[in-house]
Amino acid sequence: MKKILYIGNNLAAKTSYNSTMATLSKLLIDERYAVTRSSDKKNKITRLIAMCMAVVSKGKNNDYMLIDTFSTVSFYYALITSQIARLFSIKYIPILHGGNLPSRLDKSYFLSKLIFNNSYKNVTPSIYLQQAFKEKGFNTSFIPNGIPINEYHFKQRTVIKPKLLWVRAFDKTYNPLLAIKVVSLLKRKFTDVHLCMVGPDKDGSLEEVQLLVAKLNLTENIVFTGVLPKEEWHQLSENYDIFINTTNIDNMPVSIIEAMALGFPIVSTNVGGLPYLISDNIDGVLVDVNNEQEMVGAITNILESPSKVTALSQNARHKAEKYDLKIIKNQWLNLLK
């Protein structure tokens, strides 16, 4: 039995927020890998200490160490734990997630070399990041995020209404304020516009969003659910017709793959890895970042074009099927054999 130590934010059980760590861990456990995860501590300092202790006390007993790697604070988690792994001759594999990692490579190139030049492998779910790392001289394998496609009920939306769904954390990076501005503009033409925003408050942005909702008199048009387990927001999604993604920086969000699988026509900002995931006007629509006018135009075009909805929906589902965990699983098993 292969043993894996997985370093990352193991908070899914405490937050009900599904994560790549939870999905990949389950996949490996189902394949009879023994997986130890660290850490589930909410406090960032306590979490880092727990991660370091896990590497020191358990690392040598594992065949590989996986490290979720992002561009902000978690970059330093990856830096510190990877260097401890080097001291103990542990094979470690950074899994690159952060959409702003290319910028991090520029700002912290020396530190990046310490992590990525000494790893057993570097893995990313994004062609966008794979290319960015290649340009900096870091060899990186592409293994996309996966979903269990058979758990996603495809709904073919034919007659649709201005009922929008947004699923992300409330964080300035993901620009939730743009969604509110979009609703405000849509309301001038569609009095029955509604928006449901699903996700946890990450940096205090939720309060700012709610203040703007009140200021624009949109209280009756927008509902906030907080974070929901995957099954609950999937069920909720049946009541909505267009999925919007408003991020300023992004990589390859699983929420977009999930929306594709569920049959949504998708309107997203054209940033980071998204143009590698969404083919514009084929399985989704891409618009300029932080441009409410362009996003409103794209949504309006979808609402007024039933034939476009059918094509976007079906093409999105077909693309999502390429990310089935049954396909992705073999790539991980080959890497960790």
State the pLDDT confidence band at 215, using cuts at 50, 70 and 90. Answer: very high
Q: Is pLDDT at 32 greater than 80 in this prediction?
A: yes
- The predicted model scores a pTM of 0.92
- Strand-pairing partners, residue 94, are 67
pLDDT digits (tens, 9 = 90+) for 165-201: 999 999 999 999 999 999 999 999 999 999 999 999 9
Neighbouring C-beta atoms of residue 259, cutoff 10 Å = 25
β pairing state of 92-96 and 266-269: unpaired
Q: Is pLDDT at 134 greater than 60 in this prediction?
A: yes
DSSP string computed for 36-77: EEE---SSHHHHHHHHHHHHHHHGGGSSEEEEEE-SSHHHHH
Instruction: Provide the percentage of residues in the chain whose pLDDT is more than 70.
Output: 98
* Residue at token pair 């996700």: 199
Average pLDDT for residues 143-151, to the nearest whole number?
94
* Angstrom distance (rounded) from CA 184 to CA 213: 9
Looking at residue 306, its pLDDT comes to 85
State the pLDDT confidence band at 307, using cuts at 50, 70 and 90. Answer: confident
Average pLDDT for residues 244-263, to the nearest whole number?
96
Q: Is pLDDT at 16 greater than 80 in this prediction?
A: no
Average pLDDT over the chain reads 95
State the pLDDT confidence band at 95, using cuts at 50, 70 and 90. Answer: very high
State the pLDDT confidence band at 276, using cuts at 50, 70 and 90. Answer: very high
* Angstrom distance (rounded) from CA 236 to CA 155: 12
Average pLDDT for residues 86-111, to the nearest whole number?
96
Average pLDDT for residues 273-302, to the nearest whole number?
97
Q: Is pLDDT at 18 greater than 90 in this prediction?
A: no
DSSP string computed for 127-185: HHHHHHHHHTT---EE----B-GGGS------S--SEEEEES-B-GGG-HHHHHHHHHH
Buried b (16+ CB within 10 A) or exposed e, 287-319: bebbbbebbbebbeebbeeeeebeebbebbbeb
Looking at residue 13, its pLDDT comes to 60
* Angstrom distance (rounded) from CA 237 to CA 183: 18
* Angstrom distance (rounded) from CA 14 to CA 70: 20
State the pLDDT confidence band at 159, using cuts at 50, 70 and 90. Answer: confident
Length of the chain: 337
State the pLDDT confidence band at 17, using cuts at 50, 70 and 90. Answer: low
Which domains are delineated in the chain? 3-143 (3.40.50.2000), 149-322 (3.40.50.2000)
Which burial class, exposed, middle or buried, applies to 62 when counting CB atoms under 10 A from its CB (0-12, 13-18, 19+)? Answer: buried
Average pLDDT for residues 33-45, to the nearest whole number?
94
Looking at residue 11, its pLDDT comes to 77
pLDDT digits (tens, 9 = 90+) for 308-324: 999 999 999 999 999 99
Q: Is pLDDT at 36 greater than 90 in this prediction?
A: yes
- 99-to-24, 86, 123, 130 alpha-carbon distances in Å: 19, 26, 14, 11
Q: What are the E-state strand segments in the chain? A: 3-7, 34-38, 64-69, 92-96, 123-124, 141-142, 163-167, 194-198, 222-226, 242-245, 266-269, 285-287
Q: Is pLDDT at 14 greater than 60 in this prediction?
A: no
Instruction: Provide the percentage of residues in the chain whose pLDDT is more than 90.
Output: 91
